[in-house]
Structure 1
Amino acid sequence: MWSERQAAMLRAMGLRLWQPPAGEAEVPIAEPAAGPPAPAVEAAAPVSLPVAAPPRPEPRPTAGPAAAAPPRPAVTPPAAVDLGAVSGLDWQPLREAVAGCTACALSQSRTQTVFGVGHPQARWMIVGEAPGEQEDLRGEPFVGPAGQLLDAMLRALALSRAAEGEPAQRVYIANTLKCRPPRNRNPAPEELQRCEPFLVRQIELVQPRIILAMGRFAVQALLRSSEPIGKLRGRVHRYQGVPLVVTYHPAYLLRNLPDKARAWDDLCLAAEVAERGGS
């Protein structure tokens, strides 16, 4: 058992005393030999280690004019194309207006605009939906597999997208949108609305005998109808007095081969109307 003096020394050193469990024999500890009394040991003062001061928080700006965040510049939404300004343009000024158009956000992601291709006085006018990736790269509508299918359908009727030759055997091809939507998403209604004056002017310049609207968004832009193509095809509609026939988009036909026969019927109907001079 610790003597009182030893216990006091151990406590002063900060050591914890061990006490034997109850019931165990206690081991006697020999007392030191008699001699002069040991000097008293003063308890050492606890040593305080330096503690790093916590980081001071950044001062928060006080309320007032000096602390106010700088005002953000006002964002002006792009203005729609003025139909009156476009309606008097001839082909080259119209092409330049399309190339420089910034009326919607598509102008920020396009590679180039897709104006149109074909004979400027063709009897046929084909209106598609929006440019895809290949069209965006080449600047021409209906290229790639869908364009190859369209060209094959036109050749079967002795028609061509060539810019020269007999207008009766030529077509002019344009899209409802002149810029490609990112990732080939569907055109937004405001995009179709802002781009519409360009298409309207193209139809006025071509003065076709027949318009072939290919695809849902071309039909919606020209006929203002949300009915399915299956319900609109098979009869003659009118756009600004011009006969209009509805049919499927070639990209759709590549995925739905049975509808190719229906699309051929639509082309034959359009050819009959064109031969009658649009009556």
Structure 2
Amino acid sequence: MFGQAFAPAKVNLFLHVGAPGDDGYHPLSSLLVFADVGDRLSLAPADALEFRLSGPFAESLSGEGDNLVVRAAQALLGGLRGPRAPVGLMLDKALPVAAGLGGGSSDAGAALRLLRRAWAPELSDDALQAIAADLGADGAACLWGAPVLAEGRGEVLTPAPGLPVCPAVLINPGVPASTAGVYGRLDALGVFGDVAPPPMPEAFESVEELAGWLSLQRNDLEAAAIGIAPEIGDVLADLAAEPEVLLARMSGSGATCFALCPSDIEAEQLAERLESLRPDWWVRRCRLGGPWPEPA
């Protein structure tokens, strides 16, 4: 019953957000991909269901009794008949928190995959995805970590067009961006986008072609997030001046931004230069695509 699962960072290549409905929720359209960097979750037998944290961003979650990993375990267990062997879950938190990277949802997805293997291998993918969707807007997409077009509140998923593996750099200026706060500011600004999915080819042949197409799209939360955390604007301005950058954009509700680069070498050069110039920023070279292999 031991096991490990990878919880990749989620990146919104574009994020179009509409006006809230009568229920207060904003419809959206977003093309999601996943990075080959992220958190890792381990499972082992235990005397009782327990959850422990480690890693560079563990302190940001310490004392959080409503962690999504715990909620995922409780939701899965609540839908099963009869008791299950208690387990311990250990989360190595490598991603910054409140960063627009879907870390909590991806952690929950990793927990559900691991716990199904341990508790209910007969449970269908559809049933597992329904549990993930109930945990949050990114839950269903982050369960599998595969590129997808998300609509509705984020729960209506269709396969993404064919995508190249994209060399990229993730940059977080070290400030949190509350999703609720960003959406609140968006509502105050009153500037909403068209959420009809833009026409897409069946496949993008290169990262250059993808970046060119994405330049016609947007993240409708970007202005609201910069209003709350101006440091996000500093990141985007710096990236716009770098020669390796094909496209720079904020992911999700921020504060993490991503830069698409033509090659791994150029992504590495960009990451090294940013780390040297801005040691206070969290910078990670990565590849965007997915799904990525689980730990051995």
- TM-score, structure 2 as length reference: 0.24
Whose radius of gyration is greater, 1 or 2? 1
Q: Which has the higher strand share?
A: 2
Q: Which has the higher contact order (CA 8 A, sep 6+)?
A: 2
Q: TM-score, normalised by structure 1?
A: 0.25
